[in-house]
Structures are given as C-alpha cells and as structure tokens.
C-alpha cells in the first residue's frame, strides 16, 4: 500500500482554480445570441439534430457509418481499420456500423446498445446525429436520444419479410415512430434500405411507402413533413450520390433527391432563448483536470462560460468552466443546441443522468404528483386507477402510479366524454393524475424536475411504459408542488 502511495496525503497546498468570469450581462448575451442565430440563418449552416430510428437490423448504424464516410467525417485509415477489425471478429458485414458502434460489447454482439453521437455537414445544415438502438431491450436509451432530437431518420429493411417483421405489432418500426412523435419530433425522413437485396424493385419500394404513409398520418406526422428515399447503405447508393454500376438499376426508375439532399432541407428548430434555462442531463463523464462534464440539449434559454448553475434534484451548484458544441469550444450555447458543459466547483456524486441544470434565479420545479393529458397506444390490457407504470421524462425513468383516471376526452374537440372512467382502453385520449412511487428503503417519493407543457414544451412531455411496452404518451397539464 505504501509503495503505491495510497496512504500518503499530499501536503503541498494546491492553488485553487480560479473560476472563469462571465463575459456578458444577460441582456447583452441575449442580444449577442439573437444576432448570431440570425447570421447563422442567412450565411452559415443551420444547426439541427436528428435521431436515427428503426427496427433491429434495419441497417441504421451501417447507413450512418457509410454516410459519415461519404461526407468526409470518417477517414480512410479508420475505415480500413474497422474493415480489418470486423473481418477478424468474423463480422465483416458490420464494418460500416463500427463507425458508430464503438464499444466492445456492441461490436461483439453486432447491435447498437447506447446512443452514439456524431456530426456531419451538408451544404446548408450542421447535423448532430444520434444513432439510437433498435433492439426492444434498449428502448430507454432510444427515448433518451429521441428527446434530444429535432427530426427523425427512420431506416426500414426492404427485404421480403423483414419490413413486415418491423412494422407488424410488436415491431420497433411502429413503436419508434410513436415514441418520437410523442416526444415532439414532427419531421421524418424514411430511408428504405437494402433495396439491392430485392433487385432494386420499384414495386417493393412503392409497396412499403403505401403501407407507411397512412400509419405516419395516424401517428401525427403531416404528409408535407414526411419524405421517402430509396437507399442501399452497404454500397453507399443514393446516400450522397447515385453514380456507378451499383446505382444503375435504381437510376432506371428513380430520379429524386438523395438522402443528403433531404437532410439539407430539414427545417431547423425555433429557439426560445428568452425562456428560463433548462438542460436535462443525458450523460455525465469525468473531465480532464478538476470537475465533471455533462452532455445535454438546452430546452430553453442561453448559458455562458462563467455562469453559476444549480443542479436539481439536490442543492448543489457549480460554475461553467467551458462549453463545447460539435467538439468546438464556444463562449455560450442557446436553446436547441446539444452541448457539453464542463463544470467546476461541484461534487460529481450530486450530478446524474436525468438531473436538470438551471439558473439559481429561476429554478425548475420538483414534483411527485401531476395531471397529464395522455393518448393510450395499441394495448391489450387496459389502464386502471392504481396501475403501476414506469414514467419516462428525457433521460430519467421512475416508478409511478396512475392514481386517478379523471376523464376521457374527445381528441378532435377536447371536450370531456366521460368523467371518472373505470378503465382506459387503446386509442383513448384521457386526463389522468400520476404520482411517483418511493424507491429504495425510504417510503417517500423523490420529486423530479417537471414543468407543464404550456410553460415549456420540451420539459412537459412524458411517456408511460409497462412490462417493457410503451402504453401511453402525453403532456403535463399541472404539477402539484
């Protein structure tokens, strides 16, 4: 022990690190943010985040790995290393997926388990890519990724029987679309992949489009915000270009946009920079030197280097040492950005995935009980008063109970159909009261950061799951402090 110096204390007095100073007064910061965002819209690439979704083995990671290569984000040396490594592991068909699936377990199992974050540029967009897992065991990770996204890229496998497996009841194609729409995503690009496996059949492409269109409308996607594109991810056909022998058969019947063309015209989100600062934490990791780093998407407001932030739940505060967006150091970040904040003067024990950062002057409320308006999905077992469920909010999931079924509501008019219903069945829209259940040895439920949808749309969306199945989604109406 002594040889390892584990028992010795360093008596040399360390010089405490001086926290950075704030650059802008609040009004000046808002002015600077407005000016910069306006300039971004006119001259630079607009920032946008996209979550890649779809059934397991649809080719999501392969498509994104190949797209990163086509757009110059994955260099030739790394590509060759991934190709060599995947062949050696007996998984040569996963070589492109290794561009995003970086952990040993993901590579060994050949599936995405966690959210991989990358970025790529098109002529008019700076895109943050969140590659979500397709396997149903990792739906919580997929929810975390979708809650940080502006748009969705749905990848479907066009091979005979494979599309049907993902789209039939219990398939992730259907569930992922319901989840992302419930989390506020309104734009979707559908990449119909592996068409090379069906001889680039136009009939198969159009059959899949015809099956998906009504379901997308039913789920809440407007037809004008839904685009379809045929692709062959493994050969890189119609991702960034449509050239060469591999694309010859597709060119015989398709002359529309490539995937990159569609990504380039996605609508960038409106940024509410005057709203109170809200940053739900999606990841926490050790930073170099002192302090910690947290990743998350700003759901409102602006944050700058030198600013002091409060972490909720808890009574811990820290100072923003630096901010990174797309691996570049920036002096401030605005609503809608996916940022990494390096914090100093804070104990890492008090910051966890699901915590929310806010300013001490405008704290996010904590609650254990609230009312919500929900839509019940295609469930077999009805929801009853007193039912035990799992509540999902951003990267946090907690045990909860539907303590009261207040009323069922007409989805079109919003009028009450029935007060105090006995059960909620599939397709029902209802107002319910939800309470969190105690966890651990205590008999007291801990409050979570939550706001009504009217106050903050991103902070007011919830998902409800039970037994590994998403059974409802909705918005928070009122919270009980």
Least confident of 59-68, 108-117, 418-427, 432-441: 108-117
Residues 59 and 201 reside in one and the same domain = yes
256-305, pLDDT tens digit by residue? 999 999 999 999 877 888 999 999 998 888 776 667 889 889 999 999 99
Q: Which has more pLDDT, 475 or 28?
A: 475
4 in a structural domain: no
Asked if residue 39 is part of any domain, the answer here is no
Three-class HEC string of 1-55: CCCCCCCCCCCCCCCCCCCCCCCCCHHHHHHHHHHHHHHHHHCCCEEEEEEEECC
Q: Residue 187: what pLDDT?
A: 95
> What is the pTM (predicted TM-score) of this model?
0.79
126-146 pLDDT tens trace: 888 876 554 455 567 777 777
Which whole number is the average pLDDT over 213-229? 94
Q: Is residue 129 located within the same domain as residue 237?
A: yes
Whether residue 2 lies inside any domain: the answer is: no
CATH at residue 312: 2.40.30.10
**Residue 3 resides in a domain:** no
Question: At residue 50, does pLDDT exceed 80?
Answer: yes
Sequence-distant (≥ 6) Cβ neighbours of residue 169 within 8 angstroms? 378
For the residues 437-455, what does the mean pLDDT come to? 88
Assess if residue 308 is contained within a domain.
Answer: yes
The conformational region for residue 212 under phi > 0 = left, psi -120 to 50 = alpha, else beta, is alpha
232 and 96 within one domain: yes
Residues 168, 83, single domain; the answer is yes
**pLDDT attached to residue 192:** 96
What is the reported pLDDT for 61? Answer: 79
Are 314 and 397 within 8 A, CB to CB?
A: no
The tokens describing 135, both together, are: 């396997």
pLDDT of 317 strictly over 90: yes
Which domain, by its residues, includes 135?
45-263
Q: State the pLDDT at residue 81.
A: 61
Q: Indicate whether 298 and 207 sit together in one domain.
A: no
pLDDT of residue 368: 96
Per-residue pLDDT at 47: 83
Residue 427 belongs to a domain: yes
Are residues 473 and 373 part of one domain? yes
* Domain's final residue, options 317, 332, 358: 358
Higher pLDDT among residues 171 and 425, named by residue: 425
Domain co-membership, 255 together with 394: no
- pLDDT beyond 90 at 433: yes
pLDDT attached to residue 10: 42
| Same-domain pairing of 83 and 123 | yes
Residue 116 in contact with residue 13, Cβ under 8 Å?
no
Answer for the pair 473, 462: CB distance below 8 angstroms, yes or no.
Answer: yes
Residues 288 and 251 grouped into a single domain: no
Higher pLDDT, 296 or 86: 296
Residue 45 has pLDDT above 90, yes or no: no
- Cβ neighbourhood burial of 218 (10 Å; 0-12, 13-18, 19+): exposed
Q: Which of 238, 263, 288 is the last residue of a domain?
A: 263
Task: Pick the last residue of a domain from 316, 335, 358.
Answer: 358
CB atoms within 10 A of CB 91: 16
Residue 79: pLDDT over 60: no
- Look at residue 26 and tell me if it is in a domain: no
Report the CATH number at residue 140: 3.40.50.300
* pLDDT above 90: residue 189: yes
> Are 86 and 162 contained in the same domain?
yes
Q: Answer whether 302's CB lies under 8 Å from 334's CB.
A: yes
If we measure between CA atoms, which residue out of 224, 221, 227 comes closest to residue 190? 227
Element (H, E) at 205: helix 202-219
Count of the separate structural domains present in the chain: 3
Q: Which two tokens stand for residue 448?
A: 């979570």
Q: What is the largest CA-CA distance in the chain?
A: 76
Residue 51 bridge partners (DSSP): 130, 152
- On whether both 66 and 93 belong to a single domain, the answer is yes
Indicate whether 83 belongs to any domain: yes
The pLDDT, as a whole number, for residue 111 is: 36
Is the pLDDT score of 453 beyond 80?
A: yes
Cβ(411)–Cβ(431) below 8 Å? no
Among 139-148, 169-178, 266-275, 451-460, the minimum mean pLDDT is found in 139-148
Spatial CA neighbour of 304 closest among 357, 364, 363, 365:
357
Q: When comparing pLDDT for 129 and 441, which is higher?
A: 129
Q: Find where tokens 């609230």 sit.
A: 370
Mean pLDDT value of segment 9-18: 48
Q: Say if residue 85 is in the same domain as residue 217.
A: yes
Confidence (pLDDT) at 434: 97
The pLDDT of residue 135 is: 46
- What is the mean pLDDT of the segment spanning 237-254? 93
């Amino acid at each position: 022990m002594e040889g390892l110096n584990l028992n010795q204390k360093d008596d040399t007095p360390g010089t405490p690190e001086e926290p950075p100073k704030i650059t802008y007064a609040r009004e000046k910061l808002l002015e600077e943010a407005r000016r910069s965002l306006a300039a971004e819209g006119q001259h630079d690439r607009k920032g946008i985040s996209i979550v890649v979704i779809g059934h397991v083995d649809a080719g999501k990671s392969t498509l994104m790995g190949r797209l990163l290569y086509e757009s110059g984000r994955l260099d030739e040396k790394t590509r060759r290393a991934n190709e060599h490594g995947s062949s050696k592991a007996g998984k040569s068909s996963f070589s492109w997926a290794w561009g995003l699936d970086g952990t040993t377990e993901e590579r060994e199992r050949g599936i995405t388990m966690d959210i991989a974050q990358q970025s790529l540029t098109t002529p008019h967009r700076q895109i943050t890519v969140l590659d979500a897992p397709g396997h149903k065991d990792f739906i919580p990770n997929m929810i975390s990724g979708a809650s940080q996204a502006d748009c969705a890229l749905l990848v479907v496998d066009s091979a005979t029987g494979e599309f049907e497996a993902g789209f039939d009841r219990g398939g992730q194609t259907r569930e992922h679309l319901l989840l992302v729409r419930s989390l506020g995503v309104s734009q979707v690009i559908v990449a119909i992949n592996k068409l090379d496996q069906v001889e680039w059949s136009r009939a198969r492409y159009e059959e899949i489009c015809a099956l998906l269109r009504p379901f997308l409308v039913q789920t809440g996607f407007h037809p004008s915000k839904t685009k379809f594109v045929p692709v062959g991810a493994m050969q890189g056909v119609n991702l960034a270009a449509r050239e060469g022998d591999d694309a010859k058969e597709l060119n015989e019947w398709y002359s529309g946009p490539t995937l990159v063309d569609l990504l380039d015209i996605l609508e960038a989100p409106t940024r509410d920079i005057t709203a109170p600062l809200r940053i739900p934490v999606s990841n926490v990791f050790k930073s170099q030197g002192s302090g910690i780093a947290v990743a998350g998407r700003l759901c409102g407001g602006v944050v700058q280097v030198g600013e002091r932030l409060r972490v909720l739940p808890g009574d811990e505060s820290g100072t923003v040492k630096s901010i990174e967006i797309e691996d570049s150091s920036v002096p401030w970040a605005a609503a809608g950005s996916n940022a990494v904040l390096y914090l100093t003067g804070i104990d890492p024990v008090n910051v966890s995935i699901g915590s929310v950062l806010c300013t001490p002057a405008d704290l996010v409320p904590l609650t254990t009980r609230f009312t919500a308006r929900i839509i019940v999905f295609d469930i077999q077992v009805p929801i009853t008063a007193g039912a035990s469920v799992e509540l999902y909010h951003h990267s946090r999931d907690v045990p909860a109970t539907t303590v009261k079924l207040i009323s069922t509501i007409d989805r079109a008019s919003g009028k009450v159909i029935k007060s105090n219903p006995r059960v909620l069945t599939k397709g029902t829209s209802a107002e319910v009261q939800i309470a969190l259940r105690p966890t651990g040895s205590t008999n007291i439920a801990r409050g979570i950061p939550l706001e009504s949808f009217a106050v903050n749309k991103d902070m007011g969306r919830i998902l409800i799951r039970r037994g590994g199945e998403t059974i409802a989604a909705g918005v928070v109406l009122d919270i009980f402090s």
